[in-house]
Structure 1
Amino acid sequence: MAVHFHEEDLPAGVFAEGAALAVDTETMGLVTPRDRLCVVQISDGGGDEHLVRFGVNSSFDAPNLKAVLADPARTKLYHFARFDLAAIEHYLGVTAAPVFCTKIASKLTRTYTERHGLKMLVNELLSEDISKQQQSSDWGAPVITEAQREYAASDVRYLHRLRDIFEERLIRENRLEIAQACFDFLPTRARLDLAGWANADIFSHE
C-alpha cells in the first residue's frame, strides 16, 4: 500500500480498468466558488491512493484526472458527495458520476444514530481508526506535509469496503432503490448549490 503524490494531473493508466473509484477533495474552505480546489485524492481500492495537488495559479488542465472522473463506466464513491461533486464541477469542469455516497447510505441505514461522519463509520463498521487532525489545515500551502498526505489518503482508503457494507444494508432494509435515486440526483444537487440554492428548499410549499 502506498500514497502517490502528483502535481496538476494523474499519470495515465494508474487504475484498474472499469474499477469503481473512491474520490475526495481538499479545498481552501467550504464556499466552493471562493475557496479553490487544492487536492483531489482518488483510489481504485487496490491498496494505493493517488493525490493530485493543484497550485495557486493552476489552470486545472488535468486531462487524465478528468477522463477517469467523467468516465460513466466507473462508479465514484464519496463521503458527502454533494460537496466534492460541486468542487470538481466548478474547478475541473466535469461531472464525476455515477455516484455512491456513504454518508447518504449511512443516514438511510444507520437510523439508530445521528453520527454519520467518516471517522465514526470506519470505527464502527471496519474497526479501524482514522485521524481528522489535518482536516482544517492549510491545503493551499506551498508544501503539503506528510501528515496532510496521510489524512487525505485515509479519506478514500476505506470507501470501497464501506460501500460493500452499505449495499448489503440497503438491500436488507429495502432502501436500495431510494438510495440510488438520491445518488442519481446528487450532481443536480451540487449544481443547485453552485447556482445559489444551497440553503433553499425548492421543494417546500413556501
Structure 2
Amino acid sequence: MIPEQHFSKDDIRTLPPYPGLALKAVSVVTNEAEMEAAYRQLSVCRVLGFDTESRPTFLKGEVSSGPHLIQLATAGHAYLFPVERLGDLARLRDILESPAIRKVGFELGSDVQRLKAKLGIECAGLVDIGRLFRQPGDRHTVGAVQAVARLFGQQFRKSKRQSTSNWASPVLSEAQRVYAGNDAYVALQVFHELERLGRADAGLGHAGSGNKKPG
C-alpha cells in the first residue's frame, strides 16, 4: 500500500536529508570510449532511472532548444549525456528506444516530446512514477520530493539555483552534476520501493503529456 499522506513543504523541511549519490558516483559521458563503457553498464539493466535537463527559457514566447542533458541511473551510478558535446547518439538511442529496458522518472511528458523533436528519439518502456501514486480524487501532483518524503520519510533537496542553471554549458559544475545525477537516481530508488510494495506494474508505457516543471 502506497502511503497517501501528503507532506507540506514545512513538513518536508523537518525530515532528515535523503543521502543520494555523491559526486564520485556521477559520470559525464563526453566521448566514444566513455559512451561504450556507459552502454555496457546500462544495456544490461532491467530498469533505469531517467530524466533530462534543458537550459531554461526566460523570455515570453521563447521556445526551449533542449534537451541539453540526458541522465540515466543504475542502482549505484548515474551517467550524464551532454547532447551538444556528443556526436554519435546511437548507443543512447538504443537504450531509450528499447522496450525491454524500463526507463522510470517523474513528469516525463516534456522530456519525451523534446527528445523526439530535437533528436528523433522515440522513447519506449517508460514509467511515469507520479501516476503510480495517484488515488481516486487525488488533486496533489507527486514529484520526487513528495515521493521520497512519503516512502522514505526523508527530505530530497532540490536546488532552484541548479534547476534553472545553464544545462547547455560545455562544462557542468560539480553541483550541476550531483543535481542531475540524483534526479535520475532518486526516480529509480522510488520505483524499486514501489516494486517492493507491489505497485510498480501500473503505468508502464505512460509518459504523460503535461509540461514538466524545471528540475
Structure (1/2) with the larger helix percentage = 1
- Partner Cα distance (1:98, 1:109) in 2: 25
Task: Give the C-alpha shift of residue 89 in structure 1.
Answer: 1.6
Aligned-residue RMSD, C-alpha: 3.0
Which of the residues 103, 126, 131 maps onto 2:157?
131
% of aligned pairs identical?
Answer: 21
- The SS at the match of 1:158 is helix
- Partner Cα distance (1:102, 1:185) in 2: 9
- Partner Cα distance (1:125, 1:153) in 2: 20
- Partner Cα distance (2:186, 2:206) in 1: 24
Which of the residues 35, 39, 47 maps onto 2:65?
35
Q: So what's the TM-score if we normalise by structure 1?
A: 0.72
Gaps of 5+ in 1: 199-206
What amino acid is the match of 2:165?
S
- Partner Cα distance (1:110, 1:4) in 2: 41
Higher relative contact order (CA 8 A, sep 6+): 2
1:48 is matched with 77
Cα 1:103–1:81, aligned 2, differ >3 Å: closer, same or farther?
same
Cα 1:110–1:23, aligned 2, differ >3 Å: closer, same or farther?
farther
The answer to whether 1:70 aligns with 2:70 is no
1:156 is matched with 184
Gaps of 5+ in 2: 1-20
Q: Map 1:51-200 to 2 at 5 A.
A: 51-55=80-84, 61-108=88-135, 111=138, 114-133=140-159, 134-167=162-195, 168=197, 170=199, 179-180=202-203, 183-186=204-207, 190=209
What count of residue pairs does the alignment treat as equivalent? 178
Cα 1:185–1:101, aligned 2, differ >3 Å: closer, same or farther?
closer
Task: Give the C-alpha shift of residue 59 in structure 1.
Answer: 7.5
Q: So what's the TM-score if we normalise by structure 2?
A: 0.70
